[in-house]
Each structure stands twice: as structure tokens, then as C-alpha cells.
């Protein structure tokens, strides 16, 4: 898999706001660093990072229209909380416009906002990189989470899901059922891991 990264960057720069493009680069570099730490393909991590928000430059209405045009079905839930749609549409654009065929990359883009049950290593890398990248400064516990991400990726993933859901709840916003299921899945995994540590199994 050899992509022209510079060409891809140029094209994304033209599509995204300056701040969103900075975020995109930061996620891409953070994803590469995590891939180094956890033994994942660096190029795939870089590409997924660069493309994860490729549909973020459109307003809600345009995103919905593009989904209709591309025959991407949207749930009632997604129409009510369109922020999630950029991930789904992003995966479609990554394939159609940016010619990414790799399903792992497309999935990592598709699930970067909600997470999902049983995430792949690349799903986790992009989800976590999106939250801890160096340009972020508003989320709580960023210093600890940045460190934790390089020590225990699953624990960082769980903590970020927990923070994100708590934040959405405090705002009274609607929570996507996919995010809720992903959180419950990792909560149970974490609990069973703790039991295994205690019993030595
Ligand atoms: Fe995003
Ligand atoms: Fe992002």
C-alpha cells in the first residue's frame, strides 16, 4: 500500500478549515506514535488519522444530502444527532474519493466517533488519538489520559468513552446507542479482567 501522503494532505487542506486540518495532522501523528508503541502498521495508522474527519467540512444538511446521494442509510437516531454522520460519510468518501480499499482503515474512520463493541487495534488507535492529540485542550484529565494511552490502550479507551458519555449526559445531548453499547462492552471487559487478576486466571 503506497499512498501519496503529500497529495492527500494537500487535498484535505483544501477541504477543511485551518483548525480542522491542524487537528487532522495531529491525530495522524499521534496515531503513528501509538502504532509504534502497539506494533501496528504505521502507514495505515497515518492514513486513517489523516482521513478520519474528511467529511467534517460539510454542514449537517450537506452531509445528509451526500448520504442520500451515495445511498448510505441513516437511522432516526443519526438524523437527530448529525454529528455522528461525519464518521459514516467519512468512510464512504475515503473509499470513493480517496481510493482507500483497506477495510480496517475504513472501519476505523466509520467508528471513530462512537466506538463499537470488539474494536480492532486500529479502531482503538484512532479513537484514542482523536481525543489525546496535542491540539486538544478542553477535555478533562488530558495529561493523565495522554500518558495512559501509551501504557494501557484499553484502559485509556475505556476512560475516554466514560468521559465522553458523562460529558454528553451533562449537556443533556442525545447519546447514540452505538456509543452506549461500546461503553457497556468495555466496561464488562474491564470488570472481568479485574476478576481475572484477583483470581489469577
Ligand atoms: Fe470526528
Ligand atoms: Fe477528529
Vertex 166: Cα angle to 163 and 167 (nearest 5): 85
Ligand 1 centroid – CA 6 distance (Å): 21
Query: What backbone torsions phi and psi does residue 152 show, to the nearest 5 degrees?
Result: -145, 100
pLDDT at 59: 93
Question: Using one digit for the tens of pLDDT, what is the confidence trace for 170-190?
Answer: 988 778 899 999 999 999 999
pLDDT per position as a tens digit, 90-147: 999 999 999 999 999 999 999 999 999 999 999 999 999 999 999 999 888 999 999 9
Q: What global pTM score does this model have?
A: 0.95
Query: Ligand 2: distance of its center to the CA of 1 in Å?
Result: 24
Segment 36-95, tens digit of pLDDT: 999 999 999 999 999 999 999 999 999 999 999 999 999 988 888 888 899 999 999 999
Amino acid at each position: 500500500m503506497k499512498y501519496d501522503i503529500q497529495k492527500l494532505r494537500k487535498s484535505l487542506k483544501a477541504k477543511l478549515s485551518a483548525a480542522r486540518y491542524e487537528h487532522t495532522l495531529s491525530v495522524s501523528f499521534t496515531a503513528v506514535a501509538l502504532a509504534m508503541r502497539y506494533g501496528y502498521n504505521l502507514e495505515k495508522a497515518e492514513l486513517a488519522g489523516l482521513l478520519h474527519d474528511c467529511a467534517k467540512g460539510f454542514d449537517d444538511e450537506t452531509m445528509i444530502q451526500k448520504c442520500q446521494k451515495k445511498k448510505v442509510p441513516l437511522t432516526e437516531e443519526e438524523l437527530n444527532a448529525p454529528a455522528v454522520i461525519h464518521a459514516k460519510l467519512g468512510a464512504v468518501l475515503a473509499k470513493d474519493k480517496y481510493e482507500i480499499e483497506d477495510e480496517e482503515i475504513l472501519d476505523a474512520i466509520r467508528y471513530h466517533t462512537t466506538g463499537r463493541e470488539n474494536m480492532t487495534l486500529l479502531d482503538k488507535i484512532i479513537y484514542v488519538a482523536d481525543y489525546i492529540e496535542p491540539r486538544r485542550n478542553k477535555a478533562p484529565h488530558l495529561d493523565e489520559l495522554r500518558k495512559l494511552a501509551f501504557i494501557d490502550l484499553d484502559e485509556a479507551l475505556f476512560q475516554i468513552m466514560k468521559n465522553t458519555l458523562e460529558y454528553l449526559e451533562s449537556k443533556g445531548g442525545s447519546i447514540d446507542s452505538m456509543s452506549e453499547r461500546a461503553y457497556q462492552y468495555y466496561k464488562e471487559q474491564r470488570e472481568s479482567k479485574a476478576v481475572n487478576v484477583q483470581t489469577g486466571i
